Chains A and B, each alone.
Chain A
Amino acid sequence: MAQKSGVQVHGLEEMQKEIEKLVDEMEDELQIGTDDAANAVAGTLRQNAPRGPSGNLAESITTKPLPRRADMPQVTMVGADYRIAPHQHLVEFGSVKWQGNPFFRRSIDGMRGAIQSAIKSKAEQPVRRRGG
């Protein structure tokens, strides 16, 4: 005679809700981490920007978070505001008469590891809060 057996799993719905909550929290933390990293990069860029008589280049460095989209990673842009420093590209890339001062690319390259660590650390926080 065949024997019947079965397994009942309790708490599936709760687990699904918890995972959704975790993902939401991770997205929030990622946004904070991305903004923090962008502000840190902007600070370094302001420090490293060559100083002219006006100081406009350092002053022009700004950050702007892009609107969040479900199909895109969080993005916060860091750059020079061309209304304040329209000559930024001439400083960075040079011209026929003078050599460029690639302070922007040097700063980004130098901070690459720190940026990744800052964002990763924030993204891990929701898991850590749950004992992970």
Chain B
Amino acid sequence: MSDSIVVKLEAGLVSMIEDAETAAGTRIYPDMLPQKITYPAITYSDISDMGHQDIGVDYPRYNVTVWSKRRLATKNLAEELLNLLHRYKGVLNGVRVKSISKMDSPGTLYDREAGVYYIPQDFKIIYERVI
């Protein structure tokens, strides 16, 4: 069975971030951080599944969060991701992406217990449902 378009899209997104050779390298995880982790790292997750019923276009909200022990490094990595993703248009792993745009986000957060800064950023990914 072939992968669904959403799976292809997520794989394309991860490859795109890996190829950008950010400070997080290949430490990009779905949904949450693994227990033993080297910082900085990135997590991604789908937040809501929105789409048009009458035309073959979906526009889900995705969250991409950067995590780091250092505040400035967290901000720099978040900005790297923003520059990479915001206003992107192209083909990701075979999925035609019409545009990616940043949505409102809360800014820098801090996990006191773990001593880790994190910046969640949401993106609306508009893509064609048919490959």
Answer whether A and B are interacting partners.
Answer: yes
Q: Are A96 and B31 in contact (CB under 8 A)?
A: no
Given A93-B120, A94-B32, A106–B48 Cβ distance below 8 Å? yes
Q: Are A105 and B109 in contact (CB under 8 A)?
A: no
CA distance A96 to B115 in the complex (A): 9
Given A94-B32, A96-B67, A96-B116, A110–B48 Cβ distance below 8 Å? yes
Q: Are B47 and A99 in contact (CB under 8 A)?
A: no
State which of A96, A100, A105 has its C-beta within 8 Å of the C-beta of B113: A96
CA distance A97 to B31 in the complex (A): 11
Q: Are B109 and A93 in contact (CB under 8 A)?
A: yes
B-side binding surface: helix, strand, loop or mixed? strand
Q: How far is the CB of B114 from chain A (nearest CB, A)?
A: 4
Task: Indicate the size class of the contact surface on chain B.
Answer: 20 to 34
Q: Is B73 an interface residue (CB 8 A)?
A: no
Given A89-B106, A93-B106, A109-B50, A99–B122 Cβ distance below 8 Å? no
Q: How far is the CB of B116 from chain A (nearest CB, A)?
A: 5
Q: A residues within 8 A CB of B109? A: 89, 93
Task: Indicate the size class of the contact surface on chain A.
Answer: 10 to 19
Q: B residues within 8 A CB of A109? A: 47-48, 50, 61
Q: How far is the CB of B54 from chain A (nearest CB, A)?
A: 13
Q: A residues within 8 A CB of B61? A: 105, 109
Q: Is A126 an interface residue (CB 8 A)?
A: no
Q: Is B63 an interface residue (CB 8 A)?
A: yes
Q: Are B113 and A97 in contact (CB under 8 A)?
A: yes
Q: Mark A93-129, 1 if CB is under 8 A from B, else 0.
A: 1111111101001100110100000000000000000
Q: Mark B98-129, 1 if CB is under 8 A from A, else 0.
A: 00000000100101011010101010000000
CA distance A126 to B90 in the complex (A): 45
Q: How far is the CB of B95 from chain A (nearest CB, A)?
A: 21
Given A89-B109, A93-B109, A105–B65 Cβ distance below 8 Å? no
Interface residues of A in 55-86 (CB under 8 A from B): none
CA distance A109 to B111 in the complex (A): 27
CA distance A102 to B113 in the complex (A): 21
Q: Are A96 and B33 in contact (CB under 8 A)?
A: yes
Q: Are B50 and A97 in contact (CB under 8 A)?
A: no
CA distance A93 to B33 in the complex (A): 13
